[in-house]
Amino acid sequence: MDRLAPTLRPRGRPAGFQRWRELLFLHWETPVAALRAVVPPGLTLDTFEGRAYVGVVAFTMRDVTPWWSPSVPGISNFHELNVRTYVHRDGRDPGVWFFSLDAAKAIAVMIARAGWHLPYHFASMDIEARGGEVQYRSERRWPGPVPARFEARYRVGEPIGTAAPGTFEHFLAERYLLFAAHRGELRVGQVHHAPYPLHRAEVSHVEESVVAAAGLPATEGAPHVLYSPGVDVDIFALGPAAPPG
């Protein structure tokens, strides 16, 4: 794939459509060496002011469909949780490397593993909102590694609008490329959506083992927290990543 313009809508027809809703972004600073050990050598770690981060993003997927199909009740809507870090290719094509993606719909997991070469896992997941507080729970079922659990309670705070380029919030949230490896080949896909409308959020409890399950150091301390009510997304197919240089 040639040099990409991540924020511009690619030419051609999307492979599918999704609505991402109620996104909780949690980030912890993580040693560069620990991330470098588990990210493919064809990718360069993307850092902010010299610091690298691992993110855990908990949200709900709505109306997940290929371009040729309408939304199907019972199939197209499910919760998802991903563990990720940020990468680029020799200073260009900033994107996301996923260590794991847990989803509460088994058929979605099988399709994503086979067609998108992404490390999806099936998990038991639920969200409960009560008294202005949201509780999100996930427990991985298959395939391993397990245990891989996540539980958080949070309250949504004041809106802060869209993230300005150059800010920490922009670095964490505004990512439009994803990388995947298949049979030794690095591949890249693109999504397109409006910039995230962001809110501050307050987390009263977080307990997780999904980061350690990815072979990374267990998270320590309070995370950086953002929330977004969501965006509507066009998904474009994976293609070969351009050689670096």
Of the CA atoms within 13 Å of residue 66, those in its CB half-sphere come to: 8
> Given pLDDT bands bounded at 50, 70 and 90, which one contains residue 5?
low
Average pLDDT over residues 219-239: 95
**Whole-angstrom Cα distance, residue 136 to residue 144?**
21
Q: Report the amino acid identity of residue 211.
A: V
**What are the tens digits of pLDDT across the range 73-96?**
667 789 999 999 999 988 888 999
Catalogue all structural domains in the chain, each as residue range(s) with its CATH number.
16-240 (2.40.400.10)
- On whether the CB atoms of residues 155 and 134 are closer than 8 A, the answer is yes
> Given pLDDT bands bounded at 50, 70 and 90, which one contains residue 214?
very high
DSSP 49: T
Q: Is the Cα dihedral 22, 198, 39, 150 positive or negative?
A: negative
H/E stretch holding 173:
helix 168-173
> Given pLDDT bands bounded at 50, 70 and 90, which one contains residue 182?
confident
* Residues 6 or more apart in contact with residue 144 via CB below 8 angstroms: 213
What is the pLDDT at residue 10?
Answer: 82
What is the pLDDT at residue 133?
Answer: 97
142 or 67, which is more confident? 142
What is the pLDDT at residue 2?
Answer: 43
H/E stretch holding 211:
helix 210-213
27 or 66, which is more confident? 27
What is the pLDDT at residue 166?
Answer: 94
> Given pLDDT bands bounded at 50, 70 and 90, which one contains residue 243?
low
Residue length, the chain? 245
- On whether the CB atoms of residues 176 and 95 are closer than 8 A, the answer is yes
What is the pLDDT at residue 71?
Answer: 59
What is the pLDDT at residue 156?
Answer: 98
* Confidence (pTM): 0.93
105 or 59, which is more confident? 59
- On whether the CB atoms of residues 157 and 24 are closer than 8 A, the answer is no
